Amino acid sequence: MIYLDTSALVKRYVEEKGSEIVHHLFETGERLTTAKLPMLRL
């Protein structure tokens, strides 16, 4: 299981430094998790 914080979630939708790593994590099929709070922060 991989935990993603708010800054990693943003990289999923906004191209910036490190976005390619986050895209790769989503493609691996690994279980990803985050807290409910980041959704409020976005």
Residue-number span of the structural domain to which 6 is assigned: 2-41
pLDDT value at position 39? 57
> Taking the model in full, what pTM does it have?
0.69
Containing H/E element for 20? helix 19-27
Whether residue 42 is predicted with pLDDT greater than 80 in this model: the reply is no
CB neighbours of 17 closer than 8 A, spacing ≥ 6? none
* 3's tokens: 């935990």
Q: Which residues of 8-33 are buried (b: 16+ CB within 10 A; e: fewer)?
A: bbbbeeeeeeeeeebeebeeeeeebe
Domain count within the chain? 1
Band of the pLDDT at 33, cuts 50, 70, 90? confident
Over residues 1-27, the pLDDT tens digits come to: 999 888 888 899 999 999 999 999 999
The pLDDT score that the predictor gives to residue 3 is 92
Instruction: Please report the pLDDT score of residue 40 as a whole number.
Output: 58
